[in-house]
Structure formats: C-alpha cells, structure tokens
Amino acid sequence: MKPKISLQARTEYEAVAVGLEPAGVVQGSMFGMPCLKIEKKMLAGLYGDAMTFKLPPEPREEALALAGAEHFDPGMGRPMKEWVVVPLEHAASWPRFAEQALEFVRG
C-alpha cells in the first residue's frame, strides 16, 4: 500500500518539478508514484511525505545523514542502493538533491 501524500509534500514536489522543467525534466509515474524523468530515466519521485532521489555516492551519503532519511525500498523488501528517501522536513534540500540526481542520471 502506497503512503498518502500531504498537500504540503505535493506542493514542494511540484516546485522541484517546475524548477527542473528548463533542463528537460518531465513528470510521470513509476512504481505507482509520481516521478521526475529525463529521457525516460527516473531521477526522483514522491513517496508519501518524502522525495526519493537517485544519487551518486557523496550526495547519497549526505542525504542519508539527514534525520529520517534512508535507502528507498519501493515495497519489495530490498532497498535500492542508489536511491534515498528524504523526508518532507528536509524539503529545503530537495531542489539541490534533484539537481544532483539529474546530473547523475544524465551521466
């Protein structure tokens, strides 16, 4: 069962999405959750009151150091090693992590 998304989380997510539009990022859906994609590759998503990001090692460790952040497990019992869930309380950092995720996914 997918976690519920609050209006505040949706608003913060939308702000990140709009900020990345000039770079060619589009909104979509994956794993049944809203997500951000570049060239059909997912770089971030909204999971309940948190955003998930696909991050390279250094930014990933920085994100995991935040209170409540953890490796993302979409419900299959196995966390995805490059993906981090960053709670809404750290929404101010979402745009920066989204930019880092975009650069990582673009390669």
What tens-digit pLDDT sequence spans the chain (107 residues)? 678 999 999 999 999 999 999 999 999 998 788 999 999 999 999 999 999 999 999 999 999 999 999 999 877 788 889 999 999 999 999 999 999 999 999 98
Beta 80-87 vs 50-54: how paired, if at all? Answer: antiparallel
Measured CA to CA, the distance from residue 3 to residue 50 in angstroms comes to 10
Provide the residue range defining the domain that includes 64. 7-106
Whether 1 maps to a domain, the answer reads no
Give which of 107, 104, 102 is closest to 20, Cα–Cα: 102
Q: Work out how many domains the chain is built from and give that number.
A: 1
Helices marked H in 4-76 — which ranges? Answer: 7-20, 57-64
**Residue 56's CATH number:** 3.90.1150
Residue 96 CB neighbours (<10 A): 14
Strand partners, 54: 83
What lies within 8 Å, CB to CB, of 4 at 6+ separation is 48, 49
Phi, psi angles (nearest 5°) of residue 50: -150, 155
Whether 2 maps to a domain, the answer reads no
